[in-house]
Amino acid sequence: MFFTEPLLDPPAPGWKRDLPMPDQPPSTDPYSPVLPNPPNHLDSVYLDLPRSTVRMRGIGLWLAIAIITISPFPLMNWFSFPPETQFSLFFVFTLGSLLLFITALWFGIYAWRMDVQAPRDEPIRFNRLRRKVYVYRFHHDGLRPFSRSAWGVRTEVYDWDDLRAEVCSVYGPMGAGGLIESVSIAVVKPGTHQVIDRFHFAHGTMQGEMYWAMALLFMQQGPQALPQFPRPPRDWNNEDVSFNLARRLAPKVRWPAEIDLESRTSP
């Protein structure tokens, strides 16, 4: 079931449509061969789905190194002006070079931290018996790339009935520019459509719709309603990442002990 007008207040940026709510049947049948990864875990208690804020790992790290390495070069020209150069021209060039250096350093640090500090996986667990959802969530802040408190992993717990899924489409830097589609999950105030939190769920509309359909089927009917997957679960913590420096430096998934136990067990 799709909705032609936003249900939530406010809707997600670039809203296209809302996906079925937790008590409604899924709008599509999950087809396992087209999904990039099978569930991390599936049993009668909980479903653990892979999730990642960063779509491609490894590019930002090298981009950051290149930016930080090249950015000081304009500053080296501070003293290259001949003595007869007008002071105003020297001042404008110096100020512009300094602003360029600060901007490049700012962006380089942000790209580095996004590529290296994001965990290898950001799983989301759906506990059918507790009717709770546990999110291993990487927080970051582009306006504060040097901050320690604004960056890092936090585990958050939500009531299943308070979650809503939305398909979004925004313009992003894809070559000459293009649309980037994704599915996000909003957390609403109980009994209302007022959004109190929102986080990324999946890259691409098809993947997001199918993962959300899997969550609906599991929470409503149980594990027997999900399709069989041709590939075994991916071990994000112990996979071979020899040729991807960013993934080698990325922290492994480490749930807090209490949350880990609660999310995998019945009440």
For the chain, give the number of residues: 267
Neighbours of 73 (CB within 10 A): 11
Average pLDDT of the segment spanning 181-203: 96
Contact between 170 and 13 under an 8 Å Cβ cutoff? The reply is: yes
Q: What is the mean pLDDT of the chain?
A: 85
Domain ranges in the chain are 15-53+121-227, 61-116
d(CA 29, CA 206): 11
Is the pLDDT at 173 greater than 50? The verdict is yes
C-beta contacts of 33-39 below 8 A and 24+ residues apart: 33/230, 34/206, 34/210, 35/207, 35/210, 35/211, 35/229, 36/207, 37/233, 37/234, 38/229, 38/231, 38/232, 38/233, 38/234, 39/214, 39/226, 39/229, 39/233
d(CA 202, CA 150): 22
What is the band of 76 on the pLDDT scale with cuts at 50, 70, 90? low
List pLDDT tens digits, range 81-92. 555 555 566 666
Average pLDDT of the segment spanning 100-114: 80
Nearest-CA neighbor of 226 among 234, 216, 236? 216
Contact between 218 and 47 under an 8 Å Cβ cutoff? The reply is: yes
| Global pTM value | 0.84
List pLDDT tens digits, range 236-258. 999 877 677 778 888 999 999 99
Query: Which phi and psi angles does 123 have, rounded to 5°?
Result: -65, 155
Is the pLDDT at 78 greater than 70? The verdict is no
